[in-house]
Amino acid sequence: MIRVVVSGALGRMGQESCRAILDAPDMILVGAVDGTPKNNKLGQVLGREDIDIAVHSDLQTTLQQTTPDVLVDFTNPKAVFNNIKTTIDNRVRPVVGTTGLSSAEIEYLKKAAAQRGIGGLIAPNFAIGALLMIKFSAMAVKYFPHVEIIELHHDQKIDAPSGTALKTAEVLAEVRGKMHQGLPTEYEKITGARGGNYEGVRIHSVRLPGYVAHQEVIFGGSGQTLTIRHDSISRDSFMPGLLMSVRAVININELVYGLENLIFE
């Protein structure tokens, strides 16, 4: 059995993760952490009175007391780096769904994991469909180098653009290279109207109630356009990929960025 602790257990993704792990036949949820637990009984929060797990606020203590194999982190961009550093220092394998880590922070964590010989995963998105969207977009940009990204999320998301949009832009730029799109003399009458700019790829972030996680990659060519879109209608769309990740990191000895590196050849 794979022993798992969930950090950010009382958040929406954290609760969904706890339910998935509790129902997985090869996993056992041994601990739950949340920065400001309003209710320290996880079973009451999940509506499962048979679950007798207390929610604690201190990650270090929880890791030492529960001795997990894997930590799942769905917290926030301000906390995630220290959480994963603490996890690796305790020789626990991290599976990170929290976005907002900088490239420098990811590199630091990769080196820390390598020094301890443990595996882990930082995943901008656990939805298999979203990973296929990125893969298909990398194929398309070879033929349609003019491309923009629109990502749409719920209005409680802290960071913009999303980790998935950034990952998509990185992959597109790696395949296509940096280039300027649009009219060279264009200007914005309202700052930000043309979105963010990553190596010439424009990224537009929408935040509205009613959305979960959605993204479309729009390619333009002579007399035609191509749109590749993925929609997560509910948060359980992320759970098959999350459980796959928990199982996968047990058998690797490096910290990997992107679930696609574990499931696609």
The pLDDT score that the predictor gives to residue 124 is: 87
The question of whether 154 is a catalytic residue gets the answer no
- pTM to 2 decimal places: 0.84
Phi, psi of 92 (to 5 degrees): -110, 140
CATH of the domain at 214: 3.30.360.10
Question: Residue 235: is its pLDDT beyond 70?
Answer: yes
- How many structural domains does the chain have? 2
The question of whether 135 is a catalytic residue gets the answer no
The pLDDT score that the predictor gives to residue 49 is: 83
Is there a single domain that holds both residue 97 and residue 209? no
The pLDDT score that the predictor gives to residue 225 is: 98
Is there a single domain that holds both residue 95 and residue 75? yes
The pLDDT of 92-108, averaged and rounded, is 93
Is there a single domain that holds both residue 84 and residue 170? no
Range of the domain at 135: 128-233
Is there a single domain that holds both residue 143 and residue 222? yes
Angle at 64 between CA 58 and CA 66, to 5 degrees: 95
Q: pLDDT by residue (tens digit) across 59-74?
A: 999 999 999 999 999 9
Query: Which residue would you say has higher pLDDT here, 194 or 49?
Result: 194
The pLDDT score that the predictor gives to residue 265 is: 55
Percent of the chain surpassing pLDDT 70? 98
Long-range contacts of 168-174 (CB under 8 A, 24+ apart): 168/133, 168/134, 168/137, 168/215, 168/217, 169/198, 169/199, 169/201, 169/203, 170/198, 171/134, 171/137, 171/138, 172/137, 172/138, 172/141, 172/147, 172/201, 172/217, 173/198, 173/199, 173/200, 173/201
Q: pLDDT by residue (tens digit) across 152-199?
A: 999 999 889 998 999 999 999 999 998 988 888 999 999 999 999 999
Q: Look at 40-44, 62-66, 205-209 and tell me which has the smallest mean pLDDT.
A: 40-44
Catalytically annotated residue among 41, 85, 154, 157: 157
CATH of the domain at 81: 3.40.50.720
Is there a single domain that holds both residue 188 and residue 213? yes
Catalytically annotated residue among 56, 153, 167, 204: 153
Q: What is the mean pLDDT of the chain?
A: 94
The pLDDT score that the predictor gives to residue 38 is: 67
